[in-house]
Amino acid sequence: MIRLEGISREFRTGQHVVYALRDLTLHIPPGQFVVLMGPSGSGKSTLLNIIGCLDRPTDGRYTLDGRDVTGLPDKSLVEMRRNKLGFIFQTFHLVPRLNASRNVELPLVFAGVDAGDRRSRAQRSLESVGLAERVTHRPDELSGGERQRVAIARALVMDPPVLLADEPTGNLDSASGAEIVKLLVELNRKGRTIVMVTHNEALSKLGHRLIRLRDGAIEQDLST
């Protein structure tokens, strides 16, 4: 599913070079739940951005679902993100003036899906995360946990095989966070590949595999 071979990512500021990732090799098979951890600056977010086709490596090769995406043009990367990847962020990224259903529909709008199909698919996606009764509520009418569920429904609406979660419980209280964790585990049980970044040590054994990064390299790769 996800294969990274000798991936490096450097950032230049004048004559100064910062290496965010250094010759990193990582294989994630379909259906695996991987937890990424490490101190600030270890390369977690850079790695997630490269897996999510939001950034390009300086060196190395990245293959997603059998396709080498390393040198794809931007338009093709957009298509890969749309069809293969779902994103869940710490800050939800919901549009305040749109209700839950319209927020979930947004990826379908960009994909050119007609309005009737968009509404029905958004409804089903919201039902799948337990929000069937909240479809007409705007973000300011929802709790933090409900807003994150809307964001997850939006990530699922295109039926991607991979979900990428960046601190998905970081802005939630413990009870809401536990609900989101339970939902992610259930989605993985149904076959989604999940890669999740977290600082929360309590979540370190959540998935099948724990990868700890330090200074842009894999420090530990453990089965959990």
User: What pLDDT, in 10s, does the model give residues 46-81?
Assistant: 999 999 999 999 999 999 999 999 999 999 999 999
What average pLDDT does the segment 183-193 reach?
96
What average pLDDT does the segment 102-116 reach?
96
How confident is the model at residue 224, as a pLDDT?
A: 86
Domain 2-95+160-223: which CATH number of 3.40.50.450, 3.40.47.10, 3.30.70.1170, 3.40.50.300: 3.40.50.300
Residue 63 β-bridge partners: 3, 68
DSSP 151-214: HHHHHHTT--SEEEEESTTTTS-HHHHHHHHHHHHHHHHTT-EEEEE---GGGTTSSSEEEEEE
Report which DSSP code applies to 71.
T
Q: What is the mean pLDDT of the chain?
A: 96
Q: Which residues of 167-206 are buried (b: 16+ CB within 10 A; e: fewer)?
A: bbbebbeeebbebbbebbeebbeeebbbbbbbeeeebeeb
What average pLDDT does the segment 15-33 reach?
95
Backbone angles phi, psi at 2, to 5 degrees: -120, 120
Q: Is the pLDDT of residue 13 over 90?
A: no
Prediction pTM value: 0.95
Ordered by start, the domain boundaries in the chain are 2-95+160-223
